[in-house]
Amino acid sequence: METIATEFEVLDERFAGVGGDDRMEVLHRGARWAEGPVYFPAGRFLVWSDIPSDRLLRWDEMTGAVGPFRSPAGYTNGNTLDREGRLVSCEHGGRRVTRTEHDGSITVIADRWQGRRFNSPNDVVVRSDGSIWFTDPPYGILSDYEGHAADQEIDGCHVYRADPVTGEVRMVAGDFDRPNGLAFSLDERRLYIADTPGKHVRVFDVADDGTLSGGKVFAEAEDGFDGLRLDNTGRVWASAGKSVLCFDPDGTVIGRLRFPEPTSNLVFGGLKRNRMFITACTSLYSLMTNVTGARPIWARR
């Protein structure tokens, strides 16, 4: 197994106790642009996207084997799990959000808003009420590299919510340049959303009916942000350039984990949710940490 030195950098005393393996494992190399890692606790495996190669890959925790999960894969980008452990994916190619059922069939959750096709759904999260929230920048329609070159049908790049009962798709935030990664706070009363060209993460208050308010800048980074995750203390971990940055809930950047190539996303997994998986350009990295990833509300009951 190839490994590289782990480089944690303490930027604030609140990060001083954070650590993990001295060396990170390189679980796979050879992707064109790795993205969207999602860990399946029931099967103890990880699935992630290689967008330009139009495939999903699978890493098995028990054997260490890497193999195909789905190809073609609709130029899938972001992935997550719903309350029933089903894969929910953002497909650039189909310009849609889909769910993979337990029998392997595909259900389309959303592919249009007000009759117009999305740009290219990018990242997705599921709230405890079953609602599905996703961002919609244009990366998959700008060229044929990460999808299919096409005209933009919607004026702008927005954030949407799909209702779990009616299927209604509602725009919840429409003042972004190119929204990207998103994550709920531990109590789901706040929603963090990255705006990559804006080089910041904004935070919104979430009402019971799914309405967003606020939207102040929570954090900034020179390299811009991509994927976001929370740990069980409420700290926000964000991929940004050749780093994964850690932010205190008050928005202060307190720590950094350095990488030799640009990072795109991360997820906590493993038996105790203390194994961090990071997709970074061509590679998939992993390290055991003394940090525990946040569990969804439905998994804490």
- The annotated binding site is made up of 35, 122, 146, 180, 226
State the residue for tokens 């009916």: 209
Q: Which amino acid is at 261?
A: E
Catalytic position from the list 54, 226, 231, 250 = 226
226 is a catalytic site residue: yes
Rg, Å, the chain Cα set: 18
Neighbours of 121 (CB within 10 A): 27
* Residue numbering of the annotated binding site for a divalent metal cation: 35, 180, 226
3-state secondary structure 46-94: EEEEECCCCEEEEEECCCCCEEEEECCCCCEEEEEECCCCCEEEEECCC
* Opening angle at CA 149, ends 157 and 228, nearest 5: 40
Phi, psi of 170 (to 5 degrees): -125, 135
Taking the C-alpha atoms of residue 232 and residue 253, their distance in angstroms, rounded to an integer, is 17
Distance CA 146, CA 33 (A): 9
Separation between Cα atoms, residue 91 and residue 89, nearest integer Å: 6
CB 227 within 8 A of CB 236: no
Annotated binding site for substrate: 122, 146
Please report where in the chains the tokens 């790795």 appear, as a residue: 34
Peptide bond just before 37 cis, omega within 30 deg: no
Which residues are part of the catalytic machinery? 226
